[in-house]
Amino acid sequence: MNWPELHRLPLDAIDTDRSWSLHQDLNQSIDAALLASVQRYGILRAPLVRRSGRDGYQVICGADRLQALRAVAADHAFCLVLDPALEPRDLLILAARDQAENGMLSPIETARLALLATTFAGDDAPALLAAHTTIKNSGQRRRIVRLLDLEPPLRQSIHAGTMSTKTGLLLAELSTDDRLFLGRLFAGLALNDNKQLRIIEYGRIITVREHCSFQDLFRARYHYCLDLDHRRDNIPQLTNRLLDEIYRHSHPLITEARQQFAERVKSLHLPSQCTVIPSTSFEYDRVTLSIEFDSLDDLATRLSALKDLLA
């Protein structure tokens, strides 16, 4: 195999096709930080290209860098020209290593690499993915590729880290309208991953039970979350209200049991330092009484009377 050679190439000879890019599923607008860097310093890491036809070149990795160069009206770029005999497996390895220079692959980049490896690397795909990602088996591979079925705004959120892979995969099971609706809701409320997952979990219980969509559910019961433009100062309160109400509506029996339990405990008129704890999900009738003491010495002083009481 011949080593890559550094050449100064005219930009109009380099195809803008992104078929090998791990970023082809993301927003194609130029990153502001990258553009500023290119304007000031030029390209610091040469893109990788290979010959395509007689005088053309296909970009393997570095499409964003080349796009930034075009934006600053450059007409040439220094690129590493690869051996045209390289196998697709080798091209994918180079693309993964190039991206790894910027840090770990995002879930969306990983999903695209998994799909490309499945398509082009054949029997070498498992080893390639194990070496460059956390994917260790075919089940994980099929699972993460499902992220590519999501709409662009959702893929962008996962890539940016404001939405987790788990949330994305749950959204992939919903209708297009519902997942786009939830994506906008999560962004508007600036919800962390835990709260996103809870809303999906509780909402699915209700929508399945009532045969409705998430959009219909929110219009009927949680409409206060739909117009956030005039409620920016109240978003934390809206979020807490939503989580409380959607849980109560999705778990009416346990909510009622907790209310009855709280009323029963209140009727006992216990001292303020006493707390009564029910069994998990009220599965059993037994309860636990927790008593707070000022100190260990205070407990030792009262222990004899407690033992007599509980004997």
pLDDT for 307: 84
d(CA 162, CA 86) in angstroms, rounded, equals 37
Give, in degrees to the nearest 5, the angle at Cα 82 between 5 and 113.
140
Q: How many angstroms separate the Cα of 228 from the Cα of each of 60, 185, 187, 211, 231?
A: 43, 9, 11, 27, 5
Which parts of the chain fold into alpha helices (H)? Answer: 32-41, 63-71, 88-100, 107-120, 125-132, 138-145, 152-160, 165-171, 176-189, 193-210, 214-221, 235-250, 252-267, 296-310
pLDDT at 39 over 70: yes
Going by pLDDT thresholds of 50, 70 and 90, the confidence category of residue 66 is very high
Could you tell me the domains of the chain?
Answer: 1-86 (3.90.1530.10), 252-310 (no CATH)
pLDDT for 13: 93
- Average of per-residue pLDDT values in the chain: 90
CB within 8 Å of 32: residues ≥ 6 apart: none
pLDDT at 222 over 80: yes
Most confident of 26-30, 51-55, 79-83, 278-282: 79-83
pLDDT for 183: 96
Q: How many angstroms separate the Cα of 256 from the Cα of each of 143, 211, 242, 263?
A: 38, 23, 18, 11
Question: What value does the mean pLDDT take over residues 263-277?
Answer: 91
d(CA 106, CA 263) in angstroms, rounded, equals 49
Question: What value does the mean pLDDT take over residues 70-89?
Answer: 90
For residue range 148-192, list pLDDT tens digits in order.
Answer: 999 999 999 999 999 999 999 999 999 999 999 999 999 999 999
For residue range 88-106, list pLDDT tens digits in order.
Answer: 888 888 888 888 887 889 9
> Coil, strand or helix: which one is 83?
coil
Token pair for residue 306? 């407690």
